[in-house]
Structure 1
Amino acid sequence: MNAAMESDPTQPFRVDAVDYEPALDALRAVRETVFVEEQQVPLELEWDELDPRCVHVLARALDGTPIGTGRLTPEHKIGRMAVLREWRGKGVGDAMLLALIEQARRRGWREVSLHAQASAIDFYLRHGFAPYGERFEEAGIEHQSMRRTISGPTAIDDRDAAIRTVVDILGAARRHAWLYTRDLDPGLFDAPPVIEALRRFGTAGRGNELRVLLQDAGTPQRGHSPFLALAQRLPSVFAFREVEDPVDRAYPSAYLANDLGGYYFRTLGHRFDGEADLHAPGRARQLRGAFMAVWERARPVSEYRALGI
């Protein structure tokens, strides 16, 4: 196997799909540290007969030290997700999960599921997993069953789904995202969960940048958009331009895309309904290309800078 996953050259680690036997010592170094020593899972429950039959991913620091593991079982389940304590919060878990989803996609699987520890539910929600069933105990730890469809885009039908989708796409971004919007979409980009996702994106400390193209820059300013208030505090992260070309101003759609292949596209930009996919690199690149063509001929929003942005 030993297939390298697409990795961000700015990250201090890499994620690979690995063969079980050759990688066993590295897998053991992470899983037994996290599950057996830290979480007190009995050793006999940590390793099972499925392990040799699973697809395993291994995260390593650039010096080769194993720092994270995850597996994909023949039953289409993701599990044994573990990251060493000192590497948590640095994107290792996100990269491993996306690598496992990509392995499932290559096999033509339509869905994957997992048992999330209660403390990790929000992490999986950000990556498009939905909970189902009641919570339960496994190895003495509270868990929630979750699943995610991975074959093609998902229809977004209402504001709540739109908010969840924007939060997911921002949460999954490595460093860059691009937003094309009429006027920062009241009801969406002023929703508290979205503002919090923008704040996390802006304070992640990875040199993140969100570029925003507006058709109407005046309405958010007059409405005292909380997005603009956040951008005022983080001027190096959020950049705004307004389209001027009549053709650009007549463009009816809106979209958000990130640098890990996630996108949310609305055919009519004044509505919430549209389609989204957290892993569609081709479509995300297409949207980014269209965005940058317009960005180059748009004007910087100097009136935002006058406010300190």
Structure 2
Amino acid sequence: MIIPDYRIEPADFQADNDDLHAVRDAVFVIEQRIPAEIEWDEQDRHSLHLIARDGEHNPIGTGRLSPEGKIGRLAVLSAWRKQGVGKSIMAALLAEAQKRGWPEVRSNAQLSALGFYKRFGFVTEGKTFFEADIPHQSMRLKLQPLEVPERRTINPGRSSVAAVEFGHFDDALRATLTIIKDARRSLGICTPNLEYPLYGHPDIAAALRQFAIQSQDGGVRIIVRDTTTVIGQAHPLIELTQRLPSSFEFRTPIEPEDLQYSSAFIFNDRDGYLFRLFGDRYTGVWSPVLPSRNRQLTEEFDRFWQRCEPCTAFRALNI
């Protein structure tokens, strides 16, 4: 599993034109050898464009939604493929179409990408055809109308706070405490081995205990990659979960790719998050309120959680 540091945001076709060109030219014009005069068309000026940027604001992916409800120009730089960027762009484009109340969206998908589109529910229609000497297939997806009760609402009075970097343990400790104390119903934690200096810290244990006691119909979900280093430890978090087992749930990865995941993060249900690229280092980025990044981590965590299995190593400890 990879959860790189990137974000999806709307692009202004004029102001962000160079960045859109950087991605689309690299993927379509250079890599796929599509003539530039075909790749760029009149629809670009009238379409909604989304752009993916890495942690240093560099463009890494694009996608557009035309006024006729057609999704296209979905491109991700080669170095960023198979890391969820394309899925995030597609999900954001579909969400924009739903906000507009459109009953469906269409796309002309390259045959090599049919599996990607089908995973979102697109179905094929008509025969294969060629565009720029590349075989394509028309596809269509019916959209479910948005229901007001199901919309994710931002907490009233809480404005977004730009993410800031931290480089010391004390900073990571204070930020983690803020994430926990701000939570209302749920927390998600992805950790290599329940890092003792952080999650064994008495202030963290106290904050988690208070959350577990006060939260209703919620709890803490924890993904632990390496359980072997935890077994046998007098770990405050394990002791806490033994006393409050209904508030904590552990899972551990089984897929080879997930087992190699080395980052660590925590997020709450109040749009706060903290992300460390390397779980054995206390450097990273965090924000108490940043809905876009929080949502991305939440969605990736949910997918990761579904691939994991219940943590039987901790179950032996009556957790």
Q: TM-score, normalization: structure 1?
A: 0.51
Q: Which residue of 1 aligns with 2:187?
A: 177
Q: Which residue of 2 aligns with 1:160?
A: 170
Ranges in structure 1 where 5+ consecutive residues have no aligned partner: 1-97, 106-149
Q: Which residue of 1 aligns with 2:304?
A: 294
Identical residues among aligned pairs (%): 33
| C-alpha displacement of 1:205 | 4.3
Instruction: Indicate yes or no: 2:205 matched with 1:198.
Output: no
What's the CA shift string for 1:202-254, capped at 9, x where partnerless? Answer: 11142331100011112122222110000011111110011111100111211
Q: CA RMSD in A?
A: 1.4
What's the CA shift string for 1:83-115, capped at 9, x where partnerless? Answer: xxxxxxxxxxxxxxx63342xx5xxxxxxxxxx
Residues in 2 aligned to 1:284 and 1:299: alpha-carbon distance in whole angstroms: 24
Higher relative contact order structure (alpha carbons within 8 Å, sequence separation ≥ 6): 2
| C-alpha displacement of 1:295 | 0.9
Q: 2:156 aligns with which of 99, 104, 128?
A: 99
Residues in 2 aligned to 1:206 and 1:154: alpha-carbon distance in whole angstroms: 31
Q: Which residue of 2 aligns with 1:260?
A: 270
Q: Is the 8 A contact 1:210 1:238 kept in 2?
A: yes
Go from structure 1 to structure 2 and tell me whether the alpha carbon gap of 1:257 and 1:251 turns closer, same or farther (over 3 Å shift).
same
Residues in 2 aligned to 1:192 and 1:162: alpha-carbon distance in whole angstroms: 14
Structure 1 ranges of 4+ moved more than 6 A: none
Instruction: Indicate yes or no: 2:286 matched with 1:276.
Output: yes
| C-alpha displacement of 1:294 | 1.3
Go from structure 1 to structure 2 and tell me whether the alpha carbon gap of 1:205 and 1:254 turns closer, same or farther (over 3 Å shift).
closer
Residues in 1 aligned to 2:242 and 2:216: alpha-carbon distance in whole angstroms: 19
Local SS of the residue matching 2:245? coil
Q: Is the 8 A contact 1:157 1:274 kept in 2?
A: yes
Instruction: Indicate yes or no: 2:316 matched with 1:303.
Output: no
Residues in 1 aligned to 2:157 and 2:301: alpha-carbon distance in whole angstroms: 29
Q: Is the 8 A contact 1:156 1:162 kept in 2?
A: yes
Aligned residues, how many? Answer: 165
Residues in 1 aligned to 2:308 and 2:158: alpha-carbon distance in whole angstroms: 37
Local SS of the residue matching 2:251? strand
Q: TM-score, normalization: structure 2?
A: 0.50
Amino acid at match of 1:278: P
